[in-house]
């Protein structure tokens, strides 16, 4: 089905309530191809929602590129300035080069080595929040763990971590009034300035961190190094924190889940995949056509922006039974929360380890999680995220 919406699907106001899932469900069920008029995006954009159509747009052989940008707002006429330099918005040689360089630092083996650091971080965070007081998981737990891990990968000194967490929240947390006082763009600039300093320090004293690794490749400019540090910082922080918050949300709302995980009645890796599907923190990815292509019966000219809505695909009733329900043992679980194709998330092993440690530690140390009130959602389109999740933990 092809249609034009009366609403601009790039308007973040549409995503602050659970009505978003109703809209996505309708579009996914109809396998809709929806046109949004110019507004949030200067030239307008097409959207796809079904699991099949999202996978087709993102698939390795699809005639699409990320080089103009991968978020609503960018298209051929208004390209992302980091296109062709930053991994997520580069293709071909530059993309291959960057994945080869950065991949080993985020591989499954590297992630396993980081598991102990993750455990220490999770235990430290839980020590602070298991005091019987109301805890806003979205602020106190979600952001801390991925930020500490990404800082470790980047080689950011511990004393700078808190500052970087705040800046990342401002830069990528959504257009939310919580982040008043500094525009997202200003926060982003501050991060890039910080990386300049870090790069200078690593040039003097190289280590085994991401910054030092990127510096070993003479073909990469300093700009490339800065932008790719930024890619990992943002990619690693902003999505994972909402998945972690969502794991606590699941424990608060799925009866008996804590005990079942603790008693070994649920496979933790399977639970983690269901957290990823159910939370689907990366809300959309955009591609621009590189040639003429027909999607869902719609002929698209070169240079047309198309958006894949990942949470819609991850609750597509054609692929997932009872898709709104969190089913800890769901198998198979062919979610595309990490995207699909050439740009499939490079940090997926790390994100999975972080979530597995959080799930295990919570089950070990907590006997009950009670929702104080329903979660509030971010006013954002890049991430589907928790603005607030107040809960009360009962320790064991």
Site of interaction with ligand HEM (CB under 6 A) = 58, 66, 70, 87-88, 99, 106, 146, 150, 231-232, 235-236, 239-240, 243, 276, 281-282, 285, 337-339, 343, 345-347, 350-351
To the nearest whole angstrom, how small is the minimum distance from the Cβ of residue 56 to ligand HEM? Answer: 13
- 313: closest CA among 287, 355, 347, 276? 276
Peptide bond before 313: cis, by omega within 30 degrees of 0? no
Range list of H helices, 130-178: 137-140, 144-154, 161-172
Largest CA distance in the chain: 60
Cα 331 to Cα 13: distance, rounded to the nearest angstrom: 34
Of 3 and 125, which has the nearer Cβ to ligand HEM?
Answer: 125
Cβ distance to ligand HEM smaller for residue 254 or 276: 276
Q: For residues 279 and 337, what is the distance between their CA atoms, to the nearest angstrom?
A: 8
Nearer to ligand HEM, 10 or 235 (CB): 235
Contact in structure between 48 and 296 (CB atoms under 8 Å)? yes
Nearest distance, CB of residue 50 and ligand HEM, angstroms? 17
Q: Identify the residue whose tokens are 């889940």.
A: 257
In degrees, rounded to 5, the angle at the alpha carbon of residue 365 between the alpha carbons of residues 262 and 159 is: 130
Q: Measured between alpha carbons, how far is 310 from 302 in angstroms, rounded to an integer?
A: 23
| Shortest Å distance, C-beta 228 to ligand HEM | 8
> Smallest distance, Å, CB 210 to ligand HEM?
9
End-to-end, the C-alpha distance of the chain in Å comes to 52
Question: In DSSP terms, which residues pair with 305 in a beta bridge?
Answer: 288
Residue number of the CB closest to ligand HEM reads 347
**Residue 47 carries which DSSP code?**
E
Residue in this structure with the two tokens 């819609």, named with its chain if needed = 312
> CB-wise, 211 or 285, nearer to ligand HEM?
285
How far apart are the C-alpha atoms of 90 and 68, rounded to whole Å?
9
Are 354 and 339 spatial neighbours (Cβ–Cβ below 8 Å)?
no
Nearer to ligand HEM, 84 or 347 (CB): 347
Instruction: Name the minimum Å distance from CB 249 to ligand HEM.
Output: 14
With respect to ligand HEM, which residue has the nearer C-beta, 191 or 282?
282
- CA dist 384 and 372 (Å) reads 21
Taking the least distance from each CB to ligand HEM, the nearer of 66 and 169 is 66
Nearer to ligand HEM, 152 or 361 (CB): 152
To the nearest whole angstrom, how small is the minimum distance from the Cβ of residue 86 to ligand HEM? 8
Least spacing, CB of residue 23 vs ligand HEM, in Å: 20
Tell the smallest beta-carbon distance from residue 396 to ligand HEM (Å).
27
- CA distance readout (Å), 383 to 211, 321, 374: 26, 24, 19
- Closer CB to ligand HEM, 139 or 150, in the complex: 150
- CB of residue 73 to ligand HEM, shortest distance in Å: 14
């Amino acid at each position: 089905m092809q249609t034009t919406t009366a609403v601009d699907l790039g308007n973040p106001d549409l995503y602050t309530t659970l009505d978003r899932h109703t809209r996505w469900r309708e579009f996914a069920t109809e396998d809709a191809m929806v046109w949004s008029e110019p507004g949030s995006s200067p030239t307008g954009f097409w959207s796809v929602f079904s699991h099949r159509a999202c996978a087709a747009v993102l698939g390795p052989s699809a005639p699409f590129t990320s080089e103009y940008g991968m978020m609503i707002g960018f298209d051929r006429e208004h390209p992302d300035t980091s296109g062709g330099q930053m991994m997520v918005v580069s293709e071909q040689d530059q993309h291959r080069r960057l994945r080869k360089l950065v991949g080993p630092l985020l591989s499954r083996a590297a992630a396993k080595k980081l598991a102990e650091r993750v455990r220490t971080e999770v235990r430290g965070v839980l020590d602070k929040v298991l005091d019987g007081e109301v805890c806003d998981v979205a602020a106190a737990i979600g952001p801390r763990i991925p930020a500490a891990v990404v800082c470790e990968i980047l080689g950011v000194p511990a004393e700078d971590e808190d500052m970087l967490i705040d800046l990342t929240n401002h830069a990528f947390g959504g257009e939310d009034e919580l982040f008043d006082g500094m525009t997202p763009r200003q926060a982003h600039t501050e991060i890039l300035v910080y990386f300049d300093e870090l790069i200078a320090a690593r040039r003097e004293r190289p280590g085994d961190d991401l910054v030092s690794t990127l510096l070993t490749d003479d073909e990469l400019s300093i700009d490339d190094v800065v932008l790719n540090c930024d890619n990992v910082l943002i990619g690693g922080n902003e999505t994972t924190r909402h998945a972690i918050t969502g794991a606590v949300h699941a424990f608060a709302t799925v009866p008996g889940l804590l005990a079942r995980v603790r008693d070994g009645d649920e496979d933790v890796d399977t639970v983690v995949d269901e957290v990823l599907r159910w939370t689907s923190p990366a809300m959309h990815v955009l591609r621009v056509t590189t040639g003429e292509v027909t999607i869902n019966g719609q002929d698209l000219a070169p240079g047309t922006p198309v958006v894949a809505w990942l949470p819609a695909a991850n609750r597509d009733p054609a692929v997932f039974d009872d898709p709104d329900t969190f089913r800890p043992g769901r198998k198979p679980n062919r979610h595309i929360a990490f995207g699909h194709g050439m740009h499939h998330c490079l940090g997926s092993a790390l994100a999975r380890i972080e979530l597995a440690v959080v799930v295990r530690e919570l089950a070990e140390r907590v006997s009950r999680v009670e929702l104080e009130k329903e979660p509030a959602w971010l006013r954002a389109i890049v991430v589907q995220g928790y603005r607030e999740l107040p809960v009360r933990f009962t320790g064991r």
